[in-house]
Amino acid sequence: MSDPHRHDRHHRHPRHDEPAPPHGRWHRLAHRLTPHSHESADKLDPALESSARGLRALWVSLAVLGATAMAQAAVVVASGSVALLGDTVHNTADALTAVPLGVAFVLGRRAATRRFTYGYGRAEDLAGVVIVLTIAASAVLAAWAAVDRLFDPRPVAHLPAVAVAALAGFAGNEWVARYRIRVGREIGSAALVADGLHARTDGFTSLAVLLSAGGAALGWRLADPVVGLAITAAITLVLRDAAREVFRRLMDAVDPALVDRAERVLGEVPGVRGVGELRLRWIGHRLRAEVALVVDGEVTVRRAHRIAVEAEHALLHAVPRLTAALVHADPAPAPGETDPHLALAHHAGA
């Protein structure tokens, strides 16, 4: 049976009982209602679970890519294939990108401090930047190797073993890519999605080794560099997608559909007469919201507080991965009265 006082313990704010400053009636009412913030324990547990899922995805993919790289290294030693050596080094580098992202997930689980009041979730965005730079470096290295091989063609030995190793590299990277991208999208981690796209570029590189081996088997010495240039172009396209994903997260971009859903849910809360300013932002793979609601100016402070609480609960249940909301209640202006927020904005613009 639930505790009837549990709700009050989660929503008791000493600041609501402080004396109001000697200003106008509406200003005093707004001050008593602002800021209004509630952390939801029901949302924090899934948020921590999402961090655990992200870490699990990283370690599993690290193990798969590590095993793939080791198998390819054995073939490199036996065949002396320079192309396969480059692919092996590429796969090893991709596996190691799990380290900064894993550190970011661990940091993101730390509690907020007085210096980092929003916590450490932004570490994921920094890890995403590192991953994008790694993809860019991979594109440059692939282009350089392809051009070098174009001007200095070299024979490829032990073609069957090289082809098998290339297939293994593609299979391992594609599996890891699908796994990382799926988990990243489910938990809202742009960095993990970018890391999955990086793994996909490495799979393309492995296919390049396979195609170049096939071309060499047919006697076409330029097969390796030509395919390498084509794969460089594919890596560049993946780089564009990953960079766009990480850039949007750094700029606090959110899916407009989430904003539409939040506005619709808030508008359905009893007592809400309008939705003013609404902002959503990502901190790592968690969302936070800042909302300004318009309520009847004649309601009591207690009733306005209750409306804000119900609005916050509605948001937490309706918006995926939303863990906290700051709700501000504004009284609707009386007939003939100017909205103080609009007047302040007009004065600032002048």
What's the CATH code of the domain at 300? 3.30.70.1350
Question: Does residue 349 have a pLDDT over 50?
Answer: no
| pLDDT (mean) for 96-102 | 79
Which residues are CB-neighbours of 37 under 8 A, at least 6 positions away? 324, 325, 326, 327
In this predicted structure, what is the pLDDT of residue 80? 64
Report the percentage of the chain scoring pLDDT > 70.
Answer: 78
Question: Does residue 51 have a pLDDT over 60?
Answer: yes
| pLDDT (mean) for 300-315 | 92
C-alpha to C-alpha distance for 328 and 276, rounded to whole angstroms: 10
Both 175 and 144 in a single domain?
A: yes
Per residue in 37-49, pLDDT (tens digit) is 444 334 344 555 6
Position 33 confidence tier, pLDDT thresholds 50, 70, 90:
very low
Position 316 confidence tier, pLDDT thresholds 50, 70, 90:
very high
| pLDDT (mean) for 307-336 | 88
Both 19 and 128 in a single domain?
A: no
Last residue of a domain, one of 204, 219, 250: 250
Question: Does residue 267 have a pLDDT over 80?
Answer: yes
Both 310 and 190 in a single domain?
A: no
C-alpha to C-alpha distance for 326 and 289, rounded to whole angstroms: 6
What predicted TM-score, i.e. pTM, was given to this entire model? 0.68
Last residue of a domain, one of 229, 250, 271: 250
| pLDDT (mean) for 229-248 | 83
Pair of tokens at residue 239: 């780089």
In this predicted structure, what is the pLDDT of residue 49? 60
Question: Does residue 343 have a pLDDT over 70?
Answer: no
* H or E stretch covering 276: strand 272-283
C-alpha to C-alpha distance for 184 and 178, rounded to whole angstroms: 10
In this predicted structure, what is the pLDDT of residue 340? 52
Last residue of a domain, one of 197, 227, 250: 250
In this predicted structure, what is the pLDDT of residue 278? 93
For residue 210, give its domain range: 45-250
Per residue in 65-87, pLDDT (tens digit) is 888 888 888 887 877 666 677 67
In this predicted structure, what is the pLDDT of residue 261? 93
In this predicted structure, what is the pLDDT of residue 46? 52
Per residue in 101-120, pLDDT (tens digit) is 788 878 887 888 999 988 88
CATH number at residue 94: 1.20.1510.10
Position 29 confidence tier, pLDDT thresholds 50, 70, 90:
very low
Is residue 54 situated within a structural domain? yes
Report how far apart, in Å, the C-alpha atoms of 214 and of each of 140, 150, 187, 219, 323 are. 24, 17, 40, 9, 52
Question: Does residue 327 have a pLDDT over 80?
Answer: yes
Both 207 and 320 in a single domain?
A: no
C-alpha to C-alpha distance for 146 and 144, rounded to whole angstroms: 5
Per residue in 174-221, pLDDT (tens digit) is 999 999 899 888 887 877 888 888 788 778 778 777 777 777 777 777
C-alpha to C-alpha distance for 234 and 211, rounded to whole angstroms: 15
Three-class SS state of 220: coil
